[in-house]
Amino acid sequence: MEFDPARAVPAPAEEAAALDAALDGEGLPPPSPRRRLRAARVLAGSLAALVLVAVGFDTADLIGRAFALSPWLGGVLSGLGALAVGSLGLLAGREARAYFRLQQVDALRTRALSLRAAGGHGGAAPLMRRVAGLYAGRGDMAAAGRALTASVTDAHDDRELLDLTEATLLAPLDRAAYRLVLKASRDVALGTTLSPSALLDTALVLWRTMRLLREVAGLYAARPGLLGSARLLRRMVTNMGIAGLAESGDSLVAEALGAGVVGAVSSRLAQGLVNGLLVARIGLTAMHLCRPLPFAEDRRPRLTDIRKALLALPKERR
């Protein structure tokens, strides 16, 4: 069968698909808005509005009655009410700022990823300034910021600029974050090994994980706030599987095997180690999610290293 060449059109380019492929995995793109729970959201929102209005009415009623009783009491009560509203507003503003900042970090990471994939020139300089701007007010980062400014020239291309930013600005943060994760993981491993009850174990793991999250997020970008923490936690749960922390299959096997061998020695110790590894895994995911740039291949923190450090724990004498 033959066709007239004049009537054939070029096949559609597949570049867009290739770029998308490059974007998933390590990049952790922001999750698409979820549609399934819309009804539930409407329910929650309307209930919250109802409660808010009811509380407002009640408060207004209360203040009115207090004024009827004595203007002094009314004044004090209305002052308290104003204070409550004011502090709530302040709190909400702070939360919103923290939330916005986390979102900004996400956007930075996505932009860095597409810049790295494109490998052009001139696009990374504004990105680098924004990343540096995240840490502008911090005294401990001033030296790294100066070093970055000094080492950048107009000749660096996008990939080199990203590499430089990682090596100069983020490397000390990476080291500090890794130490935080390792410390939390040790705490949990030791704590669960020593704790007498399973309930206490769970409480310890939960409390230490939340603390670690706030520590890591605070180190990289800003204190995430309550709302931000919740969002971070949710995104972490969805991303733990997807990101996979780039651990190869064999290290997972080794992990399981390592725990198994130790388990034969002491089930209590094994439980501690598993809990410790769980916290470490959550901590490393938090590092990926809070970092303003995606990890370069060779800079990624490895769960294997943490496992080794944990296995060395029983041998340590102090």
Q: Does 160 bind other proteins (CB under 8 A)?
A: yes
Q: For other proteins, which stretch binds (CB under 8 A), given 11-19, 66-74, 115-123, 243-251?
A: 115-123
Least distance (Å) from other proteins to the CB of residue 98? 31
Amino acid in the structure at residue 9: V
Q: For other proteins, which stretch binds (CB under 8 A), given 116-124, 201-209, 217-225, 265-273?
A: 116-124
Report the residue from 102, 164, 212, 213 that binds other proteins according to the rule CB under 8 A.
164
Least distance (Å) from other proteins to the CB of residue 121? 4
Q: Does 32 bind other proteins (CB under 8 A)?
A: no
Residue with Cβ nearer other proteins (14 or 154): 154
Least distance (Å) from other proteins to the CB of residue 106? 27
Report the residue from 94, 121, 130, 223 that binds other proteins according to the rule CB under 8 A.
121
Report the residue from 31, 64, 86, 122 that binds other proteins according to the rule CB under 8 A.
122
Instruction: Write each residue from 129 to 158 as x if it is in contact with other proteins (CB under 8 A), else as -, in one continuous string.
Output: ---------------------xx-xxxxx-
Residue with Cβ nearer other proteins (106 or 158): 158
Residues 167-196 that bind other proteins (CB under 8 A): 167-168, 171
Residue with Cβ nearer other proteins (118 or 198): 118
* Residues forming the site for other proteins (CB under 8 A): 119-122, 150-151, 153-157, 160, 163-164, 167-168, 171
